[in-house]
Amino acid sequence: MNAGRFEEGLTASKKALELEANSYPGYRGLGLNLAGLKNYEAAIEAFQMAVTVSERQPLPLVELAWIYSLSNNLSAIQVILDELSLRSKTEYIAATFFSCLSYYLKDYDKSLTYMEIAYQQRECILACINTYPLSTFIRTDTRFQSIIKKLNFPER
């Protein structure tokens, strides 16, 4: 998937689900690869299953919100943001996730603020942010270039 070979990733994800029907990583991989192939309806279904199988872990919720953002379903993203905001009062939810959700809701200043918090907290997710599909905006939106520079990723 990170290499852009979505058909191969799709095959691997389907194989994972054949081996374990309730595979959280299998559904995540399925959703990410389907999104890479621009099959958004099927990707939504896969991420909804990942959310269910993972018992509503934050990552698949944010990935589901990413797919909703591709179809401009802002109300569905807001529901996810509201849930994670409420949950953040009693459990850790990464600032990176709030940055993504804010960006999908077109609240760019809040998204940048959350990304700065993520950087200050040295969130481990930042190590993947330069290649992860749902964070494309960080690489393409000039507002985030200072963070990318601070992360000191190798040149491509």
CATH number of 49's domain: 1.25.40
Residue numbers of the domain that contains 116: 74-156
Looking at the fold, whether 26 and 88 belong to one and the same domain comes out as no
Given a contact cutoff of 8 angstroms between Cβ atoms, the answer to whether 123 and 115 are in contact is no
Looking at the fold, whether 24 and 89 belong to one and the same domain comes out as no
Report pLDDT for 1: 81
Closest CA to 12 of 81, 113, 3: 3
Render pLDDT for 59-76 as a digit per residue (tens, 0 to 9).
Answer: 999 999 999 999 899 999
Q: Is 70 exceeded by the pLDDT of residue 22?
A: yes
Strands (E), the chain: none
Looking at the fold, whether 26 and 79 belong to one and the same domain comes out as no
Looking at the fold, whether 126 and 156 belong to one and the same domain comes out as yes
What the block records as the tokens of 38 is 């621009």
Looking at the fold, whether 38 and 103 belong to one and the same domain comes out as no
The mean pLDDT value of the chain amounts to: 92
Looking at the fold, whether 28 and 94 belong to one and the same domain comes out as no
Looking at the fold, whether 78 and 155 belong to one and the same domain comes out as yes
Given a contact cutoff of 8 angstroms between Cβ atoms, the answer to whether 50 and 33 are in contact is no
Looking at the fold, whether 101 and 153 belong to one and the same domain comes out as yes
Q: Is 90 exceeded by the pLDDT of residue 156?
A: no
Looking at the fold, whether 42 and 80 belong to one and the same domain comes out as no
Report pLDDT for 11: 96
69 is a domain residue: no
Looking at the fold, whether 51 and 81 belong to one and the same domain comes out as no
Render pLDDT for 83-142 as a digit per residue (tens, 0 to 9).
Answer: 999 999 999 999 999 999 999 999 999 999 999 999 999 988 888 887 777 788 888 888
